[in-house]
Amino acid sequence: MATERGSDRWGLAERRLYLCTPDRPDLEVFVGRCIAGGVDIVQLREKHLDDSALVQRAALVKQVCTAEGVPFVLNDRPDLAATMGADGVHVGQDDTSPAEARAIIGDRAILGLSTHTPGELAAAVDGHGGGAPAPVDYLSAGPVVATPTKPGRPGTGTDYLSMAVARSPWPVWVTGGVDPDCVGGLVAAGARHFVVVRWLVGADDPEHAARSLRRSIDQALADAAT
pTM of the model as a whole: 0.95
What pLDDT shows up at residue 129?
A: 66
d(CA 169, CA 124): 10
What pLDDT shows up at residue 130?
A: 66
Report whether pLDDT(1) > 60: no
Catalytic positions, written as ranges: 45, 114, 150
CA 101-78-103 angle, 5° bins: 35
Decide: 195 and 18 in contact? Cβ < 8 Å.
Answer: yes
Strands (E), the chain: 17-21, 41-44, 72-75, 88-91, 110-115, 138-141, 172-174, 193-196
Which structural domains are found in the chain, ordered by start?
6-225 (3.20.20.70)
- pLDDT tens digits for 183-222? 999 999 999 999 999 999 999 999 999 999 999 999 999 9
- Please count the other Cβ atoms lying within 10 Å of the Cβ belonging to residue 166: 10
In sequence order, what DSSP letters do the residues of 15-45 get, joined into one string? --EEEEE---TTHHHHHHHHHHHT--EEEE-
d(CA 103, CA 225): 38
Decide: 24 and 30 in contact? Cβ < 8 Å.
Answer: yes
Confidence of residue 2 (pLDDT cuts 50, 70, 90): low
Is residue 202 packed enough to be buried (19+ CB in 10 Å), middle (13-18) or exposed (0-12)?
A: exposed
d(CA 50, CA 196): 25
What pLDDT shows up at residue 7?
A: 83
Confidence of residue 6 (pLDDT cuts 50, 70, 90): confident
